[in-house]
Amino acid sequence: MIPPKHSQALEIESFEGPHAQGLRGPVHLRPVAGQRFSPNLLVEGNKSLVQDYPVGSRFKVQVALTDRPGGGQYLFSSWQWDVIVRAPDE
């Protein structure tokens, strides 16, 4: 599946954090600091990135900024879009 035209490449990382509203599990995804999007925005959509890789892993993915029903924003990355797994020293 090809990402929508309004998506963009972003480096993200997995991290352990408290349950946020509407999120399941202790591991989440966020943008790596120093990019267009704040690390405070969560990335949702591709569960295999938190299930199949150790916490702290980094990935280059396509994301689309999305509005949450009821307010707030998050970044969406489909499991059908390409993922590049980054080596720990990249």
pLDDT tens, position by position, 24-36: 678 999 999 999 9
Q: Which pLDDT belongs to residue 22?
A: 55
Residue 7 binned pLDDT confidence (cut-offs 50, 70, 90): confident
Token digits of residue 64: 């689309």
The candidate with the shortest Cα–Cα distance to 12, out of 71, 75, 54, is 75
Residue 59 binned pLDDT confidence (cut-offs 50, 70, 90): very high
Q: How far apart are CA 30 and CA 15, in angstroms?
A: 8
Residue 64 C-beta-side C-alpha neighbours within 13 Å: 15
Domains in the chain: boundaries: 8-86
Kindly report the average pLDDT of the chain as a whole number.
86
